[in-house]
Homo-oligomer: A and B are copies of this chain.
Amino acid sequence: MNIAILGYGVVGSGVDHIITTRGQNKHHVTKVWSRPNPKKQIPHLVSTIKEIINDESIDCVVETLNGIEPAHEHILACLNAGKHVISANKAVIAKYYEEFQAAAKKNDVQFKFEASVGGGIPWLKELGRAKRIDTITSCSGILNGTSNYILSTMTKEQADFEAVLKDAQALGFAEANPSADIDGFDVLNKIMITANVGFNGRVQAEDFLVCSMRPVTASDIQYFKNKGYTLKYLGQVEAENQQYEGSVMINACLEDSLEANTNQNYNCATLQGDTIGTLTFYGQGAGQFPTAHAIVQDLLDLESDRPQVNQELQDFTFHAKTKNNFWIRTNQQIPEKFIAGQDNQYSQLMPMNLIEFKENLLPLLKKEDLVVRMPL
């Protein structure tokens, strides 16, 4: 099988390395398209994407570009040219999931994207398998290595956010602009893809409660630790009867939970199914070889699995039915009717669902204010 790679950064070159060193002569990277990069020599480099799209000898295209365009355009062109596409690009998949699936179906090829959520963890594979038997009712997890590295380092070293972020940037664990990782948009993309796969549900970004992790301080961490909880940045989505709700926010996790003990840049992802119960997967959520490994697994599945047609998404409606136990730290005036209790700087809110929180509380809070969800 001949393969082209779009993008030759950390992940793209990792895919090339794994295929070249372990392809057992069954797989060959024959062309690479990349933005011009004078810093490194790129093998098999072509100057235009057309040289890949029009090359009938290429069976599969691996897309490791970041961002929406030109990734969106190139993925569609490759699918429409009758090539399988494997993508690690969660932003473009979350946005164009249905368009890519439809194009794959029309052209009788596969669109695969294991590496887009949970890096090296076979999360989407096993979520899809569990769904064959079970109704999946909930998915949640630590799905961003950068924010988890920062938060677990703050917890371990009792350090504040800005100092740890700076270290993480120096070490290459956080980008110069870390917003997608720490303000929740990366996790939101991943939890939306998770909902697409786990529930066959069409979900809307604006329905989710997304709170940045920036407000967390070392003393917040200590305060909740004294209560037996570890603060973690979780994505979460629940569904029942085509209704759903979800969030990306700081959660207070029981200190003996797997989430509380998922440290450094590790990820963990958990599903709940009606016969399988709780199933959790833990591993490297990012990094060159774990991510490349997940892409090569998709590649091998093209041959080991019979072709599958993904079910079309159903309309899901947002329905905030669960009462949450929110705690906040703020200097703003909060109407008393929303306050269940107060302790030092922290207020426990009356139990409320996501809509009640978004409508009544969120407009009152400033960006430095902390929101934490505790178990009920």
Contacts A133-B297, A261-B258, A280-B282: A275 and B18 contacting too (C-beta < 8 A)? yes
8 Å CB interface, A128-147 against B: 129, 132-134
Name the segment of A181-189, A303-311, A340-348, A364-372 touching the other chain: A303-311
B277 lies within 8 A of A283 (CB): yes
A46 close to chain B: CB less than 8 A: no
Count of identical protomers in the assembly: 2
B22 lies within 8 A of A133 (CB): yes
8 Å CB interface, A235-282 against B: 256-258, 260-263, 266, 273, 275-282
8 Å CB interface, A50-69 against B: none
**Separation of A293 and B133 alpha carbons in the complex (Å):** 7
With beta carbons under 8 angstroms apart, the residue of B22, B278, B287, B308 that contacts A304 is B308
B277 lies within 8 A of A280 (CB): no
**Separation of A130 and B100 alpha carbons in the complex (Å):** 27
Contacts A133-B297, A306-B305: A276 and B284 contacting too (C-beta < 8 A)? yes
B290 lies within 8 A of A275 (CB): yes
From residue A233, how far is it (CB to closest CB) to chain B in Å?
18
With beta carbons under 8 angstroms apart, the residue of B278, B281, B306 that contacts A280 is B281
Q: Which residues of B contact A279 (CB under 8 A)?
A: 120-122, 281-284
For A, the interface residue count at a CB cutoff of 8 angstroms equals 43
Contacts A276-B284, A289-B275, A304-B305: A122 and B129 contacting too (C-beta < 8 A)? yes
Contact with B along A285-297 (1 / 0, CB 8 A): 0010110110011
With beta carbons under 8 angstroms apart, the residue of B276, B282, B304 that contacts A289 is B276
A300 close to chain B: CB less than 8 A: yes
With beta carbons under 8 angstroms apart, the residue of B120, B256, B300 that contacts A277 is B120
A297 lies within 8 A of B258 (CB): no
**Separation of A120 and B275 alpha carbons in the complex (Å):** 9
Contacts A276-B120, A276-B284, A280-B283: A300 and B132 contacting too (C-beta < 8 A)? yes
A175 close to chain B: CB less than 8 A: no
A126 close to chain B: CB less than 8 A: yes
From residue A174, how far is it (CB to closest CB) to chain B in Å?
20
23 examples of A-B residue contacts, CB within 8 angstroms: A18-B133, A120-B279, A125-B129, A126-B126, A129-B300, A132-B297, A133-B300, A261-B261, A273-B293, A275-B292, A275-B293, A276-B283, A276-B284, A276-B289, A277-B283, A278-B282, A278-B284, A279-B283, A279-B284, A281-B282, A303-B306, A304-B306, A304-B308
6 cross-chain pairs, A with B, having the tightest CB-CB distances, nearest first? A275-B289, A280-B282, A279-B283, A275-B293, A276-B293, A277-B284
